[in-house]
Structure 1
Amino acid sequence: MLVEQSAYVLHSRPYKETSALVTLFSAEQGKFNAIIRSVRGSKKAHLKAALLQPFQQLQLSWRQKAHQDLVSLNTIESGDLRFPLHGETAVCGLYSNELLYRLLYPNVSYDNLFQDYCDLLYYLAQLQFEEVSIQQRKQAWALRWFELRLLNGLGHGFNLEQDCHHQPIEASRTYLFYPEYGFEVLTDFAADQAFLQIPGECLLQLRSLLTEDLSAIELGVPCLKTLRVLMSQSLQPYLGDRPIQARLLLGRNPSQPDKLS
C-alpha cells in the first residue's frame, strides 16, 4: 500500500556510508523511523540532507508493509511550511522535539498532538518579533502549554478539576503535589517539605491551558517558576535519568532553573 503523509523530523543520525536513520512525526503515523538514502557524499546529497533540518514540513511517500518498524522512503520533498527558529526559540523547538522523540510510543496516531506541535512552532516563530523580555516569558507559557497537552495525549495527565479527595481546586488554597497521584490541600497535618507546594491559583491557570488557544494564554509571572517545576516533576518518571539535551544548548547547568522543564 502506498502511503503519503506530511511529517517533521524529530531526530536524525548517520546510517551506513551515505544514508541517515531519521525519526519522523506525522499525524497519522505518529513517531516512526525511516531510512533516507544518499544524504552524504555529493553536492546533490547535501541538498537532500538539507531537508532533514528540524521545523520544516516534509512530504513523504513509501510502501507500507505489514509489521514494518523501519520505513524506506520512496520520495521526500519539502512541504509548504517552514519555521525558521533562531536562538532561544530554536532551543524551545528542539526541546519539544526531544520530548516527542523520547516519550511518544512508536507508530501510534496522535492527531491532536500533531496539531499542537504545529501550533507551537508557529507561535515560537511569531515570538521572534517580540521584545526579548516578552519573548522569554511567552516562550515559558508556550512550553507549559505543550508539556501539559503532551502528558494528556500520552494518558499521563493529572486532574486539575479536583484534588485527590475529590474536592474542587480552589484559588485561595495551597496544594501539595504527589507525582503520579495528584494534589492534596496543604494543612498542618500534610506539610511534607519533600513535596512541591502549589497555590491553587496557579493550578487554575494551568487548567486553562487545556482549553485556551496558544495565542490566548497568559500565565501570571509568580506562577511561572512553580509550574515549570510541576511539569518537570510530572515528566521525570517518563523521561528517566538521562538529561534533556536541549537544556545544555542554553549553556546552563541542567540543575539551574530556566524555561525548560
Structure 2
Amino acid sequence: MAQWVRGYVLHSRPFQDNKLLLDIFTQELGLIRGVFRRNKKEARVTPGPFLFYECFVSGRGELKTIQKVEASGAAAQLSGTSLYSAFYIHEIMERLLPFHLPLPELFQLYQWLLQGFITGLPLAPILRRFEAGLFHELGNEVPLAATSRGEPLQPQQIYQLDGQHGLRPYFGEQPKVKPLIFVEGAVANAYVAGLWSDPLVLLMGKELHRIWLDQLLGKPINARKLLPQQPYQGERLWQVPLFRYPVIGVN
C-alpha cells in the first residue's frame, strides 16, 4: 500500500550506502519507520527535526519504503534548553509510541508543543502538559482522578500513590510498600484538571512524571542528561515526596 503522509522526523540515522532510516511521527499512520534513499545530488541532505514534511511511503510491513520527502515551510530554529527539551520529547515518543497507530490528538498536541518551543513559552508547563497527554493517549495516565476503589478524593485528605494499585488514603501509618508520592486530594484534583499554572501542580508533575516514565521505560532517558538537573527539595514523608497546599493561618 502506497500513500502520502504528513509529519515530523523524530530521528534519522545512516542505513547502508546513501540510505537513511527515518522515524517519522505522522498524522495519518502515527509513528512509522522507513528507509529513504537519497539521490546523488542530495547525498548530504538529511531530513531533520522540527520541520513539517509530506512523505510518500509504501510497503505493507513494519519497515516502510519512503520514496519522497518534501518539506513544507521552514524548520523551527531551536537552541539551548528548548532544543534539549525537544530532544527529550522525541526520545520518549520514540520509545513509548507503538508503530502504525494513528494518534490524531497527540499529533495536534505535538504541533502545539513545537509552537510553544518556537514562541518561547515557559518550558515546564508545556512539557508537563505534553507528558500528561502522551500518557493519556497510550492509556497509561497517572491514576489521580479517584482512589483505587473509585471513590472521589477528599480535598484535605492525604493519599499515597502506588504504581500498581493507584491512590489509597493515608492515615499516618508507616507504609509497608514505599509509595511513589504522597499527595493531598486538592492537589491531585488540580493535577487532573490540568492546572499547570499552579506552581505546586507543576512541581508535582515534574517529580511524578519522571518516576512514571522510569517505570514505563525501564531504562534511563539519555536526553535527560542535557537538561538542568534540579533534585526535589520539597516536603517529604517517610523520605517520599509529599505535595500539599500550605495551611493558611487565621488571624
One fold, TM greater than 0.5?
yes
Do the aligned residues in 1 keep the contact of 2:106 with 2:137 (CA within 8 Å)? Answer: yes
Match of residue 244, structure 1, among 221, 229, 237: 221
Q: How far has the Cα of 1:191 moved from its partner? A: 4.4
**Residue 56 (str. 1) matches residue 66 (str. 2):** no
Considering fraction of residues, name the structure with more helix. Answer: 1
Cα 1:113–1:61 shift into 2, 3 Å: same
Does the CA-based 8 Å contact 1:163-1:183 persist in structure 2?
yes
Contact 1:180–1:234 under 8 Å retained in 2: no
- Structure 2's unaligned 5+ residue stretches are 234-251
Unpaired segments of 5 or more residues in structure 1?
A: 128-134, 210-216
What is residue 31 of structure 1 aligned with on the other side? 31
Equivalent residue letter for 1:188: G
Report the Cα distance in structure 2 between the residues aligned to 1:88 and 1:257, rounded to whole angstroms.
Answer: 19
How many equivalent pairs are there? 232
CA contact (8 A) 2:5 2:57 kept: no
Q: Deviations over 1:164-185 (max 9, x none)?
A: 1322123322221111321112
* Structure 1 residue 256: Cα displacement: 4.3
- SS at 2:72 equivalent: strand
The answer to whether the 8 Å contact 1:164/1:183 transfers is yes
Separation of aligned partners in 2, 1:43 and 1:199: 61
Deviation per residue, 1:107-131 (Å, 9 max, x gap): 111111111111111112112xxxx
**Match of residue 126, structure 2, among 142, 147, 156:** 142
Query: How far apart are the structure 2 equivalents of 1:161 and 1:244?
Result: 27
Change (3 A) 1:152 1:190: farther
1:125 aligned to 91, 115, 118, which one?
Answer: 118
Percent identity, aligned pairs only, is 24
Of 160, 176, 194, the residue aligned with 2:160 is: 176
Contact 1:175 1:198 in 2 (8 A): yes
Whether contact under 8 Å (1:179, 1:233) holds in the other structure is no
Whichever residue aligns with residue 198 of structure 1, its letter is V
Counterpart-to-counterpart distance in 2, 1:167 and 1:251: 38
1:133-178 alpha-carbon deviations (Å, 9 max, x no partner): xx5xx31111111111111111112443311132212332222111
What does 1:1-261 correspond to in 2, within 5 Å? Answer: 1-38=1-38, 44-46=42-44, 48-49=45-46, 52-63=47-58, 65-66=59-60, 68-80=61-73, 82-127=75-120, 138-189=122-173, 191=175, 194-195=178-179, 196-209=181-194, 218-241=196-219, 243-250=220-227, 252=229, 256=231
RMSD: 2.4
Q: Which has the larger radius of gyration?
A: 2
Specify the alignment match of 1:213 in structure 2: none
Alpha-carbon spacing, 1:219–1:18, altered in 2? closer, same or farther (3 Å): same
Distance, in Å, in 2 between the alignment partners of 1:102 and 1:251 is 22
